């Protein structure tokens, strides 16, 4: 044991004897380890932001769009292929669709909202009060649009926090103020709490109004909806709700589920797809980092081979005065492990440091597993890259090594 311990100090001295070369070798491992940590942090950060933006869509929701999923069906087969109030009524029936909690018709447009000479371009969503629940909006002040607003075609709106801060000075109360949307005036009745920026789109740059008022004033006389937002009763029965929605719409339109002129998208499946693609992305980044670690490992091996050659005579002396093979082997192994371990430690710090900065719009999130992983790999690199040179040193015959000039 004390022999191993003494060996450790011997190895450290060996490293110190050519510190510039040691530093450059360590740099290879450092960069490798740091890039493992940073690239995995970027991968984790971007996948978290994707997940967050999808979760903010509402987790138990289905979205029904016009148009077939396959896109190949011709229009002649389809009668009555628009989403209208009849579809909403049919889907809201608890007999046919027991797993559907609510159905919100959605009419969307993008408009400039003006107040007191200030304009702000925002998306305007015409819907019902159930839309806010399904989309996870909460009202921070005032009230949400109501069923009677919808029935009465009331020109009232709930505004998102981005709209509020763009149009109104801090401190002033937007409630009750008249905002011009297009050519019509709408009264603000509620403020929506911020959902936070989720990377993909600003969920707070939104104005929500009764769909009836939006159809009257903004999108013309059409009675159809751009989409229906269906909230399921729970995430576990969402696929049941999906098939209920599909069969209800099929019977309503006198067609079969397979030739349905609508597309039903499940937010959970979007999440799954996005998660798997971001996992692929993270894995790809991980592989790139692994390649740079491999280059670092080759550097360590190269330097250890040079060191063994340079110190052939020293190895000969050590063997002549009684160093066993295993002693020489561990001496050089410890040396390469110390180099790669120090490089690894510095790489962890460099990686953590770089991960604090936003890179290409992505806020890296340190993956907790990446640090032990990178350090573990760094030490293994030391063992693997050091083994062959160390073995070569240990296998030298003392007379050959002593004769080496």
Task: Please state, in angstroms and as integers, the Cα–Cα distance from residue 20 to each residue in 17, 73, 294, following that order.
Answer: 9, 70, 21
Place of tokens 């942090």: 41
Residue 17 contacts other proteins per CB under 8 A: yes
Work out how close the CB of 345 gets to other proteins at its nearest, in angstroms, rounded to a whole number: 24
Determine which residue in the list 37, 323, 338, 393 makes contact with other proteins, applying CB under 8 A.
323
Contact call for residues 390 and 333 (beta carbons, < 8 A) = yes
Residue 307 contacts other proteins per CB under 8 A: no
In the chain, the largest separation of any two C-alpha atoms, in whole Å, equals 104
- Of residues 335 through 374, those in contact with other proteins by CB under 8 A are none
Contact call for residues 145 and 210 (beta carbons, < 8 A) = yes
Residue 12 contacts other proteins per CB under 8 A: no
Contact call for residues 33 and 375 (beta carbons, < 8 A) = yes
Work out how close the CB of 405 gets to other proteins at its nearest, in angstroms, rounded to a whole number: 10
CA–CA separation, 364 and 182 (whole Å): 40
Of 25, 4, 90, nearest to 296 by C-alpha is 25
Work out how close the CB of 284 gets to other proteins at its nearest, in angstroms, rounded to a whole number: 45
Mark the segment that binds other proteins (CB under 8 A) among 71-79, 187-195, 296-304, 316-324. Answer: 316-324
CA–CA separation, 329 and 160 (whole Å): 68
Work out how close the CB of 393 gets to other proteins at its nearest, in angstroms, rounded to a whole number: 13
- The torsion of the CA quartet 226, 232, 237, 241, rounded to 10 degrees, works out to -40
Binding map of other proteins across residues 380-399, x = CB under 8 A, - = no contact: ------------------xx
Contacts of 263 (CB under 8 A, 6+ apart): 64, 65, 66, 67, 68, 69
| Neighbouring C-alpha atoms within 13 Å toward the C-beta of 14 | 25
Determine which residue in the list 318, 332, 340, 378 makes contact with other proteins, applying CB under 8 A.
318
Determine which residue in the list 117, 176, 220, 322 makes contact with other proteins, applying CB under 8 A.
322
Residue 4 contacts other proteins per CB under 8 A: no
Kindly tell me which of 79 and 403 has the beta carbon lying closer to other proteins: 403
Task: For residue 229, give the 3-state DSSP assignment.
Answer: strand
Work out how close the CB of 390 gets to other proteins at its nearest, in angstroms, rounded to a whole number: 15
Contact call for residues 394 and 344 (beta carbons, < 8 A) = no
Residue 151 contacts other proteins per CB under 8 A: no
The DSSP 8-state label assigned to residue 14 in this structure reads: H
Residue 320 contacts other proteins per CB under 8 A: yes
- Of residues 65 through 84, those in contact with other proteins by CB under 8 A are none
Characterize the bridge pairing of strands 206-210 and 156-159: antiparallel
Determine which residue in the list 11, 14, 208, 219 makes contact with other proteins, applying CB under 8 A.
14
Kindly tell me which of 24 and 320 has the beta carbon lying closer to other proteins: 320
Residue 295 contacts other proteins per CB under 8 A: no
Residue 284 contacts other proteins per CB under 8 A: no
Kindly tell me which of 90 and 327 has the beta carbon lying closer to other proteins: 327
Contacts of 391 (CB under 8 A, 6+ apart): 329
Q: Which residues bind other proteins (CB under 8 A)?
A: 2-3, 6, 13-14, 17, 313-314, 316-325, 327, 398-399, 402
């Amino acid at each position: 044991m004390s022999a191993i311990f003494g060996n450790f100090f011997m190895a450290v001295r060996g490293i110190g004897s050519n510190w510039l070369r040691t530093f450059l070798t360590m740099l290879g491992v450092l960069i490798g380890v740091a890039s493992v940590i940073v690239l995995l942090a970027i991968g984790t950060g971007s996948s978290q932001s994707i997940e967050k933006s999808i979760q903010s869509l509402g987790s138990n929701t289905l979205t029904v769009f016009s148009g077939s999923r396959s896109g190949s069906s011709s229009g002649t087969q389809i009668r009555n292929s628009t989403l209208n109030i009849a579809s909403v009524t049919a889907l809201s029936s608890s007999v046919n669709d027991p797993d559907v909690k609510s159905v919100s018709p959605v009419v969307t447009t993008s408009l400039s909202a003006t107040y007191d000479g200030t304009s702000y371009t925002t998306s305007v969503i015409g819907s019902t009060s159930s839309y806010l629940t399904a989309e996870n909006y909460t009202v921070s002040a005032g009230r949400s649009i109501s069923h009677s607003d919808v029935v009465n075609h009331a020109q009232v709106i709930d505004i998102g926090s981005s709209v509020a801060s763009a149009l109104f000075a801090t401190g002033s109360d937007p409630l009750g103020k008249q905002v011009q949307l297009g050519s019509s005036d709408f009264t603000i009745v509620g403020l929506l709490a911020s959902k936070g920026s989720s990377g993909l789109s600003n969920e707070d740059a939104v104005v929500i109004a009764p769909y009836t008022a939006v159809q009257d004033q903004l999108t013309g006389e059409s009675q159809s909806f751009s989409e229906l937002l269906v909230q399921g009763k729970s995430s576990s029965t969402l696929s049941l709700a999906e098939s209920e929605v599909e069969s209800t719409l099929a019977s309503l339109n006198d067609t079969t589920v397979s030739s349905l002129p609508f597309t039903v998208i499940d937010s959970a499946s979007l999440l799954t797809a996005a998660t798997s693609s971001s996992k692929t992305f993270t894995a790809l980044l991980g592989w790139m980092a692994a390649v740079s670690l491999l280059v670092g490992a080759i550097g360590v091996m190269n330097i250890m081979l040079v060191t063994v050659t340079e110190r052939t005579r020293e190895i000969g002396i050590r063997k002549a005065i009684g160093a066993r093979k295993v002693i020489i082997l561990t001496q050089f192994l410890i040396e390469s492990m110390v180099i790669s371990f120090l490089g690894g430690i510095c790489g962890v710090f460099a990686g953590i440091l770089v991960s604090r900065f936003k890179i290409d719009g992505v806020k890296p999130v340190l993956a907790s597993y990446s640090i032990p992983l990178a350090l573990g790999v760094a030490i293994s690199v030391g063992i693997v890259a050091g083994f062959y040179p160390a073995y070569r040193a240990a296998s030298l015959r003392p007379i050959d090594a002593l004769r080496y000039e």
